[in-house]
Chain A
């Protein structure tokens, strides 16, 4: 599955480039926000791994929340979970089991992403609007990125399983 997230064209997915300074700078507020949201609302500690550049053909995990950004910078931040991790984290968040096929599951993932985006927004230091997160569920899906914008992947692990933060942003002229 390929999901278009406010991109110039699908050919953009095939355009390799180095992570921009913007992408690198914006990673810290999102990482901090992820840790804060999971600590307070899910009661788990998040261990942050070594960031790396995501290759153009690499799929995301099984469940992704896409946060679009527009303003002084444009692009997407994706929080992408392994299926098992998503199920366990949603259960801990909602304090009850949630069927991954139900709309409530996407609602819970979306709300987690919404809090992550909101928490990061105040520390970004630029004028930017953040969209309501979209949730994509499906093994091996690809999320298109902006033309000429690389994607930085920050692997994260919790006792419930692994997920990643994918940041792909560039300056808006």
Chain B
């Protein structure tokens, strides 16, 4: 499975990568903002099985990226991983089309649990 990690912090992408390697046979791509992510996705339409998205990033933020992705792709699981913890933000992200929401800081166990639950739910709905 191909996983795209979108976060302006290289450290955070690396941490998520180490945790999500537990999913098994995973090939990672990384983007530092929404613009880079869209360029990667345009080069491989429908290829990604999971996209992890930060909210606050330069050039194009995560919520804009979610809207852009959902204009053409309703299926790819999107998980928002962000420091934005207010309920209004969570609701805004869900309305935009994310399938799950993880607030930073997170434990590795919580991130895996949220990702696995998302993948299971999306597979069942397919």
Contact = CB atoms under 8 A, between A and B. Distances in A.
Interface of A: 36-37, 40-41, 93-96, 98, 104, 107-108, 110-111, 114-115, 117-119, 121-122, 132
Given A94-B11, A95-B18, A40 B107 contact: yes
B9 interface: yes
Contact of B11 (A37, A40, A107, A122): A107
A111 B85 contact: no
Contact of A107 (B10, B56, B83, B85): B10
Is the contact region of chain B dominated by helix, strand, or loop, or is it mixed? loop
A114 B105 contact: no
Interface string B11-37: 110110010000000000000000000
Contacts, number: 51
Interface string B83-95: 1111000000000
Contact of B10 (A104, A117, A118): A104
A122 B86 contact: yes
Contact of B9 (A40, A96, A111): A111
B105 A41 contact: yes
Interface residues of B, number: 17
B19 to A, nearest CB: 10
A107 B13 CA distance: 11
A40 B9 CA distance: 18
B11 A93 contact: yes
A98 B15 CA distance: 13
B104 interface: yes
Contacts of A104: 10-11
10 contacts: A36-B105, A41-B105, A41-B106, A93-B15, A94-B14, A104-B10, A107-B10, A108-B11, A111-B9, A118-B84
